Structure 1
Amino acid sequence: MTGRSVRGILRRLPVLGPVARRARQAVHAEELIAARDDKIGRLRRQVAKETAARKRAQEQLAIDRPERLDSTPPSFRRNLLELRRNIDVLRPHDPEAFHPALQIPRKLRNYRLAASHGVAVPDILGVWARARDIDLSDLPEVFVLKSDVGAGGNGVFPLRRVEADRYAVIGGDEVLSTADLQERLATRKSAGAPFFAERFLQQRVPAEEIPDDVKIYAHYGQVTMVMVRQMPVHANLDHARYRYTDARGQDLGEDIASGARVDLSIPLPEPLGDFIRVAEHLSKALAVPFIRVDIYDTVDGPVLGELTRAPGGKQRYRRDHDIAMGRAWDEARWRLDLDVIDGRPLRNLHGLHLATNHYPEGHRSRQEDPRGWEVVTADCAQWCFGGHLPPAQG
């Protein structure tokens, strides 16, 4: 007997008090269970359909670009681990950081290079050669204090003044004085001089106190992944949330990154194409096959955050995606080599826009013989993507 027929019988019966009420409740519960089972079935069919589609795409990829049976498949993670190892091999041979790969980790240097290509960078409010020289008294109420060298949030302090010489860490629970900050920056091995303050960026669509970080993985002009990261707590990845897409904004799936807390509700930057073009352009300007271009989505448009040579962490991605990004890295290495054969300088190339050197007096970049800090300029119409960047704001 169906729930509908039972309800009809109950309506024709005299009022039976609690018995009738319990009967009606039982019928309603059965209807809810049936509806739930139907929804679960639809979801299971949808998941099965998407899984089958992804499997077919992976199989087609193997048909289109088969790997030799006796070869090792490409791998982004393996290339990244090799890069980290080789950087350690390179350092003692190149103490003046003449090689393009060793020049990338310096933030102020990257700001100058990006600005020379017409890419917006944060406003610099002050620069100090030594930690003990840092003076925050004339800065705005909200700002960011950084070291020129440092990764993974080390040497970065987003700050809000709460009283005279007391600064709260935005997205944290610490309140620090100027002396506290000087000591932190002077004693952290991963934080290298000089030190500088920059304007705190206002996010286009505010979510957390700390602006979302748009991290674009690029291989010498080809974007292979966009990762948007929300950080509710400053420099604490345990609370971070992520969204991963391709260059068109198509989500790569909740299983794309091992151990990552994926949140598909995180908004993508708009227009995404502007961010992709910035990453493509800067990745062609650098003489390396891979770079991660970190950008902020601000009320003034894309603003460069950092250029990351070798992203930290495990960087474990789903096998099909790891292979695809690994192949993109391999191909980018050869494209760069062929450009060098055609005459491209094996240097990180500056563009034709005027760009400020923010390093303090006495810095190597300001010396008469700035070996390793020369500014090599090239017309992007030849080696980058001239004319395709969004206009810088401000």
Structure 2
Amino acid sequence: MKWTERQKLRIGGEEKDVPWWVNDKLKLANFCKENDLPTPNIDVVWEHPDQIDLSSFGENFVLKPSVLHSARGVMVLKRLPDGKFYDGLTQRELTQETIIKEQTKHFEDCKYKSNYRIFIEEKVAGDDEVGGAVPLDYKIYCFYGVPRMVFQFNRNHKPKRAAWFDGQFRPIRMRENIRSDWKFIHHGVHILPREWEKMLEIASRASKLVKTPFISVDMFSSKRGPLIGELTPAPGGPFYGDMYKFSEEFDTDLGREWAAALERMKGDVK
């Protein structure tokens, strides 16, 4: 069974014990803290967007809803001299009133209002060579302790730029593994994280702790070391294929990794 076929079962609710709870960013932050997994610091949590007050925070910080995905509602903010804020993710200037209005719209559109929170998170300073407002995102595809692929995502460009590594941070052969029409992303430069081995170790440990055969451990290479940003049970990029998809052979290879991970999990239970 290919990776995409297993993902279809997962998304369709046919796989048991999927750790969907990791999609709640506050639950994930508590999980990371309890298990000594490094993650950005959280400053304050609000229950509703109309409680947002940005007057007491520093020059740079991140505003996030707790239960949305695909960067919806995330604002990487820099305070400007005129009292406005610059969102590095969307490259716009915003007032606090506009921020509250947009966050309220996200809240109203969300199906999971009982768990919905919005919070201020530390602005991660990347140790990479990019120097943009948003640090590089390294999405490490882990199969119960075994990193198999790393998707490097640079959000500082339009279109965004992407690069792929294998599970040991070696660039993969694009023609053999990745398919794209390059409308929504462009090729990026491979940038090896400063502490790439530690990053892989953290991702591997996190994937085993959540007890699932597959998880994408989304990480930053920050100036204070590797940090977990999110855990993603069902990455939409290669599944839906809008940005890119796997070649048939690579899709099959990752499906075999999933099957092997299931066997390792059974062995650990015994």
Cα gap change, 1:126 to 1:283, in 2 (>3 Å): same
Do structure 1's residue 107 and structure 2's residue 30 form an aligned pair?
A: no
Please tell me whether residue 77 in structure 1 is matched to residue 4 in structure 2. Answer: yes
Is the CA contact (8 Å cut-off) linking 1:125 and 1:139 kept in structure 2? no
For residues 70-219 of structure 1, the aligned pairs below 5 Å read 74-86=1-13, 101-163=19-81, 165-188=83-106, 189-190=109-110, 193-207=116-130, 208-219=132-143
**Secondary structure of 1:229's aligned partner:** strand
Q: Deviations over 1:322-373 (max 9, x none)?
A: 1111111122223324433x3xxxxxxxxxxxxxxxxxxxxxxxxxxxxxxx
Query: Are the equivalent residues in 2 in contact too, given 1:145–1:198 (CA < 8 A)?
Result: yes
What SS does structure 1 have at the residue aligned with 2:246?
coil
CA spacing shift, 1:242–1:293, aligned 2, 3 Å: same
User: Root-mean-square deviation (CA), in Å?
Assistant: 2.1
Deviation at 1:165, TM superposition (A): 4.4
Correspondences of 1:329-344 after superposition (within 5 Å): 329-340=258-269, 342=270
Q: Secondary structure at the match of 2:66?
A: strand
Residue 244 (1) aligns with residue 173 (2): no
Distance 1:223 1:262 in 2: 24
Q: 1:257 aligns with which of 150, 153, 178?
A: 178
Counterpart contact for 1:100–1:286, Cα < 8 Å: no
Q: Distance in 2 between matches of 1:186 and 1:151?
A: 16
Q: How does 1:1-394 map to 2 (within 5 A)?
A: 74-86=1-13, 101-163=19-81, 165-188=83-106, 189-190=109-110, 193-207=116-130, 208-233=132-157, 239-255=159-175, 256-259=177-180, 261=185, 263=187, 265-315=189-239, 316-340=245-269, 342=270
Q: For 1:84 and 1:287, how far apart are their aligned partners in 2?
A: 17
| Alpha-carbon offset, residue 109 of structure 1 | 1.2
What TM-score, normalized to structure 1? Answer: 0.61
Letter in 1 for 2:142: A
SS at match of 2:12: helix
Alignment check: 8 A CA contact 2:171 2:190 kept = no
- Bigger Rg, structure 1 or 2: 1
Q: If the length of structure 2 is used for normalisation, what is the TM-score? A: 0.87
Residue aligning to 2:242? none
Q: Which has the higher strand share?
A: 2
Q: Percent identity?
A: 24
* Cα offset, 1:124, TM superposition: 1.2
Answer 1 or 2: higher relative contact order, Cα 8 Å, separation at least 6: 2
Asked whether the 8 Å contact 1:75–1:327 carries over to 2, the reply is yes
In structure 2, runs of 5+ residues without a counterpart are 240-244
The residue type paired with residue 25 of structure 2 is K
Cα separation, 1, equivalents of 2:266 and 2:186: 36
Alpha-carbon distance in 2 for matches of 1:165, 1:132: 19
Larger helix share, 1 or 2: 1
The letter for the 1-side match of 2:147 is: V
